[in-house]
Amino acid sequence: MSENYDAIVIGAGVIGSAVGLELARKGWKTLNIDKLPAAGYGSTSGSCAIIRTHYSTVDGTALAYEGYFYWKNWKEYLDLPEDVDLARFHETGCMVMKAELNDNMARVMEMSREVGVPYEEWSEDDIKEKMPHYNTQSFHPAKAPDDPQFGETNGDHVVGGVYFPLAGYINDPQLSAHNLRQAAEKAGGSFKFNAEITEVRKTADGAIAGVTLSDGTMIDSPVVVNVAGPHSKKINEMAGAVDDMNVGTKALKQEVCHVPMPIEGWYDNGFVTSDSDIACYTRPEKGNFLLIGSEDPPCDTQIEVDPDNWDNNFTDQWRTQVMRVAQRIPALGIPSQMKGVVELYDVADDWIPIYDKSQVPGFFMAIGSSGNQYKNAPVAGKMMAELIEKVQGGQDHDSDPVQFHMDYTDRSLDLGFFSRRRVINKDSSFSVLG
């Protein structure tokens, strides 16, 4: 006999585990299935786990601000026993450099005021005072090291920055997914690991019937939720759910660098930075290291890969990112040994996630979320659970989009914003910034 569930969630990363938790809390009999051996073992474990409240759209800003409060109140949200080891939120704040690429943060500040996100404007002198190790010359546009003008200032200085106090990072992203799994299991949810899905089965009339695993096990359910990360495109194709999608997803190789920070005490006293002038972001890392990621400027090659067959070694991109940050922090130095993380991102065409139903009745998607949605995982789980419940209850989300009320910020979010059928959003940064 096959197993039966109300909903199968494909994936047990931070968002998949959150979806399982929120459906289980609604009383659904749920099963998260993951081909890896533990929750958060894939892309989540390689996440920079940055929590921030600034985005390139109003809806993205509102969702991120709501998400902040879940991490701030992580213990209360999970409601786990006192002796459970929990992921920790290091609330360091985030300094975003004003740059030509972000219109000197004018639009971001406008959206922050609209949503109620607090911020402080910093002048160039403020940055020098708070970050005396910083070179405030401008290097825009970002360049590759083989460019003859790489490392040369354009003759200008940055005009300042914007500091967002409600920001920071999670110390252990994999543990955060494990915490969500623990909370889901407490609510009655189940998890199956080391299990690969080879078929998304349908009924005679084309609705979801369940999945089949590589060992032949058949698991029945009228609902399947694709939260498969870099494998999301393959799962959509397996389900026959791509024909009406205006926005697709792909797996991109990403490299994050870990380098020694020459400023003593930066791990304890430093903060997250986003610097579009040099197209890199940073955050403190334990051991007084600096974690460096790319903001995906045009001069960087995006490497799309097959998530089942790719090279997880560092490339010249590692040194490129470190050299860009060394323009800003002259004392940084370029280590000879490459350290950090090479991982895959599940990226939508406009770098805005797809949280939606599909053309296949009972098949849902929470995909294209890598790079800028870790911070939204808990609220995304609640949002998806409500979407699934409403659609399965008869609401036509395509013509009458579900409205999601956000508890902490008391705002309503039109989930049509994240539709698979949307027009590519030109307000997006088209980068990891979202």
CA 280/CA 261 separation, integer angstroms: 15
Nearest to 93 by CA among 161, 170, 168: 168
- pLDDT-based confidence at residue 260 (cuts at 50, 70, 90): very high
CATH number for 3-85+172-248+350-418: choose from 3.40.50.970, 3.10.20.10, 3.50.50.60, 3.40.50.2300: 3.50.50.60
Q: Which amino acid is at 6?
A: D
Give the tens place of pLDDT for each residue, 56-101: 889 999 999 999 999 999 999 999 999 999 999 999 999 999 999 8
Q: Which amino acid is at 433?
A: L
Contact 13, 229 (CB under 8 A): yes
CA 201/CA 222 separation, integer angstroms: 10
Provide the residue ranges of all domains of the chain, joining segments of one domain with +: 3-85+172-248+350-418, 91-168+249-348
**Alpha carbon distances (Å) from 153 to 142, 246, 317:** 11, 40, 21
Class of domain 91-168+249-348: alpha beta
Q: Does residue 337 carry a pLDDT above 80?
A: yes
Give the tens place of pLDDT for each residue, 184-212: 999 999 999 999 999 999 999 999 999 99
Q: Which amino acid is at 226?
A: N
* Contacts of the segment 316-321: beta carbons below 8 A, 24+ positions apart: 316/145, 317/255, 318/255, 318/257, 319/145, 320/144, 320/145, 320/294, 321/255, 321/257, 321/280, 321/292, 321/293, 321/294
Helix ranges, 333-430 (H): 377-392
Nearest to 362 by CA among 197, 205, 207: 207
Q: What is the mean pLDDT of residues 352-367?
A: 97
Strands 30-33, 7-10: pairing kind: parallel
**31 beta partners:** 8, 190
pLDDT of 426 reads 79
The secondary structure of 415-431, three-state, reads HHHHCCCCCCCCCCCCC
Helix ranges, 40-154 (H): 58-72, 74-78, 106-115, 124-130
Residues ≥6 apart with Cβ < 8 Å to 159? 98, 104, 123, 124
pLDDT of 89 reads 97
CA 312/CA 254 separation, integer angstroms: 9
Burial class (CB in 10 A: 0-12, 13-18, 19+), 100: middle
Average pLDDT, the chain: 95
Q: CA 283 from chain center: how many Å?
A: 15
Nearest to 68 by CA among 115, 102, 120, 121: 115
Strands 218-220, 208-213: pairing kind: antiparallel
Both tokens of 62, joined, read 């509102």
pLDDT of 87 reads 98
Nearest to 189 by CA among 16, 360, 369: 16
Q: Does residue 429 carry a pLDDT above 90?
A: no
pLDDT of 430 reads 78
Give the tens place of pLDDT for each residue, 131-140: 999 999 999 9
CA 133/CA 149 separation, integer angstroms: 23
The overall longest dimension of the chain from CA atoms, in Å, is: 72
Nearest to 169 by CA among 42, 272, 314, 318: 272
Give the tens place of pLDDT for each residue, 364-382: 999 999 878 999 999 999 9
Q: Does residue 147 carry a pLDDT above 90?
A: yes
CA 220/CA 200 separation, integer angstroms: 10
pLDDT of 324 reads 97
CA 32/CA 229 separation, integer angstroms: 13
Give the tens place of pLDDT for each residue, 214-248: 999 999 999 999 999 999 999 999 999 999 999 99
pLDDT of 110 reads 97
pLDDT of 1 reads 55
Residue 124: half-sphere exposure toward Cβ, Cα within 13 Å: 10
What percent of the chain lies above the pLDDT cut of 90? 92
Nearest-5° Cα angle at 29, 201 to 244: 40
The secondary structure of 151-176, three-state, reads CCCCCCECCEEEEECCCEEECCHHHH
Residue 303: half-sphere exposure toward Cβ, Cα within 13 Å: 17
> What SS3 state is found at 347?
strand
The whole-model pTM stands at 0.96
Both tokens of 239, joined, read 């389900």
> What SS3 state is found at 220?
strand
pLDDT of 428 reads 80
